């Protein structure tokens, strides 16, 4: 009972108090709410810690709880990303998106694994697991940076949507990168471990978990859109149920695909894209901001809990060194290489540097780390805990760095915008979908 009371006080107190000054912190100081929530959770863990009886909130530090909590937070954010991306953007920008999801993602995976291997001096398979965990761009942290007044004013709409779609898709596509080293470790005792692991990886992981998830997400999203359109036309649905429809879609797809042991993260994102294919149906849903409110409550609560359970021992020099090297060399060199090779021709140098720097590591990495822990707990419990601690340390570094470097980017971009750019109004800055008409000439100019 005491833990429940403290938990309610901690979460409710932050949401209320931060809400009173949230606009000032996010739009004046340009500090992400996830950074503040995580640091707040760490302070609370110190305040409520009892040297004799331990932390009253120790119940939160449970692998099953954190696995499912991160799972549902990711699902809600992924369907939100899928719903908000305009169809015209997906049609016109699929090439740069494929560049980010294929060669860039593979380079990020390789660089992360190599850095982990060299810094921690562990075997290649655990290094590849950690590398897979920290490879995807996190959609929760991404939304905290590429939304808001600063992003609307200084970051081009095309770049913002590209980063949003990438963060939504690469969590699901990053799953095979994690599964491969896990399978290699699980089949280590077989007569032909590599052949057995690759066979299962190609057939089951790609054939069933990935392709089936895409088909399942597309079918459920399209059917949900058709049924909603019919229900609205016949006036069978009330306003409250209509506004909660996309939230229910995320939960449904997560549950159905998870029961089938398929890649539910990818399925949720695809379902959001197909659900929003008819933009007219989701205009009122977007204007209601129901998903934003739900995301706010879940995201802030998650990062507070993360701060509470974060062990201080993960903030050691090895983890900090690995975090620094990963933040510097995991993504930026790959983006620059794609620009030099002519694969990202429509972005200038400043936008390329922003896209290269902007690769936050967060909820997705934690979800993958707890999934890895569950897979390895019977094989090597010590290794499973080591992987989790390393990932938590890297995630904390990313939260702090990516959540607090926006002021520097803001000052640089504002200065460059004043000197070199014409004052073109970004129609996405508006809060009303009417002002974001997808067929306007201004949108075509921006995209």
Question: Distance (Å, rounded) from C-alpha 218 to C-alpha 199?
Answer: 27
pLDDT beyond 70 at 419: no
Question: Distance (Å, rounded) from C-alpha 418 to C-alpha 415?
Answer: 5
pLDDT beyond 90 at 386: yes
User: What's residue 432's pLDDT?
Assistant: 36
- Tokens encoding 122: 């562990």
Q: How confident is the model at residue 394 (pLDDT cuts 50, 70, 90)?
A: very high
Contact between 247 and 293 (Cβ < 8 Å):
no
Q: How confident is the model at residue 175 (pLDDT cuts 50, 70, 90)?
A: very high
The closest alpha carbon to 38, from 149, 130, 141, 137, belongs to 141
Higher-scoring residue by pLDDT: 429, 128: 128
Q: How confident is the model at residue 422 (pLDDT cuts 50, 70, 90)?
A: very low
Question: Distance (Å, rounded) from C-alpha 360 to C-alpha 41?
Answer: 19
The closest alpha carbon to 288, from 258, 243, 328, belongs to 243
Question: Distance (Å, rounded) from C-alpha 251 to C-alpha 6?
Answer: 28
The closest alpha carbon to 349, from 429, 425, 443, 412, belongs to 412
pLDDT beyond 50 at 438: no
For the chain, which domains are there?
2-446 (1.20.1530.20)
Say what the pTM is: 0.90
Q: Residues 229-288: pLDDT tens digits?
A: 999 899 999 988 988 898 999 999 999 999 998 999 999 999 999 998 877 766 766 666
The closest alpha carbon to 179, from 235, 105, 233, 128, belongs to 128
Higher-scoring residue by pLDDT: 154, 360: 360
Q: How confident is the model at residue 35 (pLDDT cuts 50, 70, 90)?
A: very high
Q: Residues 186-240: pLDDT tens digits?
A: 998 787 889 999 999 999 999 889 999 999 999 999 999 999 999 989 999 998 8
Contact between 168 and 146 (Cβ < 8 Å):
no
Residue 423 belongs to what H/E stretch? none
User: What's residue 141's pLDDT?
Assistant: 85
Question: Distance (Å, rounded) from C-alpha 190 to C-alpha 196?
Answer: 8
Q: Residues 114-124: pLDDT tens digits?
A: 999 999 999 99
- Tokens encoding 319: 């983890």
pLDDT beyond 90 at 443: no
The closest alpha carbon to 266, from 365, 165, 346, belongs to 165
CA angle 267, 173, 72 (to 5 degrees): 50
Q: Residues 49-98: pLDDT tens digits?
A: 765 455 556 667 788 999 999 999 999 999 988 888 878 888 888 999 99
The closest alpha carbon to 253, from 274, 235, 232, 238, belongs to 274
The closest alpha carbon to 335, from 166, 98, 99, belongs to 99
Q: What mean pLDDT comes out for the span 316-345?
A: 95
Share the mean pLDDT of the chain. Answer: 85
User: Given 3-state DSSP classes, what are the helix, strand and coil percentages for the chain, each rounded to the nearest 5?
Assistant: 80, 0, 20
User: What's residue 418's pLDDT?
Assistant: 54
The closest alpha carbon to 272, from 167, 154, 155, belongs to 167
User: What's residue 61's pLDDT?
Assistant: 76
Higher-scoring residue by pLDDT: 146, 377: 377
Furthest-apart CA atoms within the chain: distance in Å: 67
Tally: H helices and E strands in the chain: 25, 0
User: What's residue 282's pLDDT?
Assistant: 67
Instruction: List C-alpha distances in Å: 370 to 130, 153, 175, 373, 387.
Output: 11, 37, 13, 5, 9
Q: How far is CA 125 from the centre of its chain?
A: 24
- Which range scores top for mean pLDDT: 2-6, 17-21, 90-94? 17-21
> What contacts 123, CB < 8 A, 6 or more positions away?
none
Asked which of 310-324, 364-378, 416-430 is least confident by mean pLDDT, the reply is 416-430
- Tokens encoding 126: 């655990």
Contact between 373 and 388 (Cβ < 8 Å):
yes
User: What's residue 411's pLDDT?
Assistant: 58
Q: How confident is the model at residue 148 (pLDDT cuts 50, 70, 90)?
A: low
């Amino acid at each position: 009972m005491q833990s429940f009371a403290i938990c309610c006080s901690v979460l409710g107190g932050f949401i209320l108090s931060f809400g009173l000054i949230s606009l000032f912190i996010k739009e004046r100081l340009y500090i992400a709410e996830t950074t503040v929530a995580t640091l707040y959770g760490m302070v609370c863990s110190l305040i409520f810690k009892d040297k004799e009886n331990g932390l009253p909130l120790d119940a939160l530090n449970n692998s099953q709880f954190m696995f499912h909590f991160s799972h549902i937070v990711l699902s809600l954010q992924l369907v939100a990303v899928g719903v908000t991306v305009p169809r015209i953007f997906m049609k016109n920008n699929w090439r740069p998106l494929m560049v980010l999801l294929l060669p860039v993602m593979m380079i990020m995976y390789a660089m992360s694994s190599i850095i982990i291997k060299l810094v921690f001096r562990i075997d290649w398979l655990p290094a590849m697991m950690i590398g897979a965990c920290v490879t995807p761009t996190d959609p929760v942290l991404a939304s905290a940076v590429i939304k808001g007044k600063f992003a609307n004013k200084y970051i081009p709409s095309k770049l913002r949507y590209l980063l949003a779609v990438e963060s939504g898709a690469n969590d699901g596509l990053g799953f095979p990168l994690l599964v491969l080293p896990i399978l290699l470790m699980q089949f280590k005792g077989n007569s032909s471990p590599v052949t057995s692991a690759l066979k299962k990886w190609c057939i089951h992981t790609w054939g069933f978990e990935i392709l089936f998830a895409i088909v399942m997400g597309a079918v459920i999203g399209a059917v949900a859109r058709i049924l909603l359109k019919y229900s609205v036309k016949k006036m069978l649905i009330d306003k409250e149920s209509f506004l909660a429809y996309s939230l229910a879609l995320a939960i449904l797809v997560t549950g159905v695909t998870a029961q089938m042991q398929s890649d539910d993260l990818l399925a949720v994102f695809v379902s959001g894209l197909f659900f929003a294919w008819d933009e007219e149906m989701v205009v009122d849903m977007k204007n209601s901001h129901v998903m934003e409110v739900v995301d706010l409550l879940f995201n802030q609560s998650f990062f507070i809990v993360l701060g509470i359970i974060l062990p201080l021992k993960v903030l050691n020099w090895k983890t900090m060194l690995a975090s620094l090297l990963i933040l510097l060399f995991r993504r930026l060199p790959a983006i620059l290489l794609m620009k030099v090779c002519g694969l990202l021709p429509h972005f200038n140098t400043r936008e390329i540097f922003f896209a290269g720097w902007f690769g936050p590591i967060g909820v997705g990495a934690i979800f993958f780390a707890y999934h890895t822990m569950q897979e390895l707990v019977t094989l090597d419990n010590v290794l499973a805990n080591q992987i989790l601690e390393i990932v938590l340390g890297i995630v904390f570094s990313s939260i702090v760095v990516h959540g607090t470097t926006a002021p520097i980017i803001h000052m640089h971009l504002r200065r460059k915008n004043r000197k070199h750019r014409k004052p073109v109004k970004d129609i996405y800055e508006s809060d009303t979908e009417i002002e974001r008409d997808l067929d306007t000439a201004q949108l075509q100019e921006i995209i």
